[in-house]
Amino acid sequence: MSQNNRITPIVSPSSSLADTDSLHHRHAHSPTTEHRRVSIASITHPDPLGPITPTDDVTLKRHLGLFSGVCFIIGTIIGSGIFVSPKGVLRETQSVGLCLIIWMACGLVSLLGALCYAEIGTIIPRNGAEVAYIKEGIGSVHARTGDVLAYLFSWTITFVMKPSSIAVLSLTFSQYFLSGVMDDCGPPEELVKMLAIFAILMLININSISVSAANRLNIIFVICKVSTVAIVIIAGLVRIGQGHTQNLQNGFVGTTNKPLGVALAFYSGLWAYDGWNSLNSVTEELKNPKRNLWLSIVLALPSVMILYLLTNISYFTVMNKAALLSSNAVAVTWGEAVLGPAVRILPILISISALGSANGSLFGAARYCMVSAQYGYLPEVFACIHARRLTPVSGVVLQGTIAIAFCLPSNVDGLIDFFSFVAWMFYALTFTATLCCKFTKKSADRVISVPIPLLVIIILISIYLVIAPLISSPSIGFLVAGILILFGLVFYYPFVYRKIELQFIKKTNNFLITFFGLQRAQVKI
């Protein structure tokens, strides 16, 4: 790691001794430290939405407890997919029984991946997840390789993957919300885009004003999501009690005999669980991360697995294989048969679920920007937070602005499809970083330790998920996506490796930092 890019950790006065016991040895019991801890702890901070008072340390505060962590993971994973199009697994397996087994197996694979992230997250307790893990983990073996790979991930996540995901979720919210309140003709495309942009602007404001407000909003969204899923599940269990089990009988009839079909079913199922790594992007804001990081994962992912399984069973109490595969919105088709006239509420509930995922994605995306800038991959202004509100305003605005731009074209879904395989490539690199830390950071305090054979298995699964879409449906789009990712190296050489700083960028940074009252965030681990 280059000297200029090295981040010097600080000990947060507001954290407990368990939080502050990290990779580096600290003199936690010195009289000076104890005095400072007591004096700062005695300050009462007002609500972020009320009058603002200065703080001694400009750093992100630990707002997220165990319940918030569980809600953050569930809220990011459960978007609109389970309600709109949970049919990718069934299409490839061709049987109800194998479909349900694949759903559970994908949950177990996601849980294994999340536990690997929990291990490296306690070794490298930084926000930004993959950015920090790849740079510090792989960088512990070869500094320049870790730096380049972390930069490429930062380039991809900042300018394509996160903002395009936020855009699609916002457009989904807009489409379903308007469908629920308008007549059957459906809303015009222009109105859908306008409402999506308005939703993004609202999320930008909330996430810029207060971390606590954004967290509370996320909890409200999760309650709405789980309530919606609960409606589907309870109604499905009632139908099973009434004897509507014909589609569940002989569940393995028609099962595919093609290994590639089963493999592609795993690919579709694992994308439904995407977001299992979301809490790692906000580790520095998690109270007692050595306990709450892995515990949130262990509580959230099995909960999602059960919800997904029971929701699919409920769908099969109404629809057979052909009906489910032909439906454009599975939950709505289910609701027409079960809820009758009350089905009109389902599109609105689905829209709320999508908006909740967009809020969680924007929350995490801003932290990716901040950590990337702290490592020198983005301009200095994105390493700053508001000096009094302690929110990463610049990162929130950047991600929201790019997301608004992605709302304007009509083929954002296609862009995400082409970049989806790239995410598993970076997951594989993060798992590799976890494996590297097994040897380079042997003395690090590990709350959880994943056995090396399981790490190798999850790395192989990740490699397969990179290759699978290239084999099953090769397209020039994948090549274009790869070229765009590597294009980031054009900026890496002058601005990161050579550290050239243009006067225009320097003046712009200074102006924005002064104008918006920003200050560089101190690292809190």
Secondary structure letter of residue 391 according to DSSP: -
Q: How confident is the model at residue 265 (pLDDT cuts 50, 70, 90)?
A: confident
Domain ranges (residues) in the chain = 66-520
State mean pLDDT over 480-491. 91
Beta bridge partners of 64: 286
Q: Return the CATH number of the domain spanning residue range 66-520.
A: 1.20.1740.10
* Other beta carbons within 10 Å of 309: 16
* Other beta carbons within 10 Å of 324: 23
- The pair of structure tokens assigned to 283 is 């580790």
Kindly report the pTM of this predicted structure. 0.85
3-state SS track over 422-475: HHHHHHHHHHHHHHHHHHHCCCCCCCCCCCHHHHHHHHHHHHHHHHHHHHHCCC
CA 494 to chain centre: 30
d(CA 273, CA 423): 13
In order, the DSSP letters of 210-221 are: -HHHHHHHHHHH
39-88: per-residue pLDDT in tens? 333 334 444 444 444 445 788 899 899 999 999 999 999 988 888 778 88
pLDDT at 266: 85
Cβ 149 vs Cβ 422: under 8 Å: no
pLDDT at 365: 96
Q: Give the three-class secondary structure for 10.
A: strand
Number of H helices, E strands in the chain: 22, 2
Cβ 176 vs Cβ 354: under 8 Å: yes
Cβ 286 vs Cβ 371: under 8 Å: no
Tokens 């589609």 -> residue: 247
| pLDDT beyond 70 at 330 | yes
How many degrees, rounded to 5, is the angle at CA 362 between CA 47 and CA 150? Answer: 115
pLDDT at 9: 44
| pLDDT beyond 80 at 147 | yes
77-127: per-residue pLDDT in tens? 998 888 877 888 898 898 999 999 999 999 999 999 999 999 999 999 999
Choose among 85, 107, 89: nearest CA to 99: 89
Q: How confident is the model at residue 194 (pLDDT cuts 50, 70, 90)?
A: very high
Q: How confident is the model at residue 525 (pLDDT cuts 50, 70, 90)?
A: low
Least confident of 75-89, 283-297, 427-441, 503-517: 75-89
d(CA 16, CA 19): 5
Least confident of 17-21, 307-311, 364-368, 380-384: 17-21
d(CA 184, CA 325): 22
CA 93 to chain centre: 27
Instruction: For the chain, give the mean pLDDT.
Output: 86
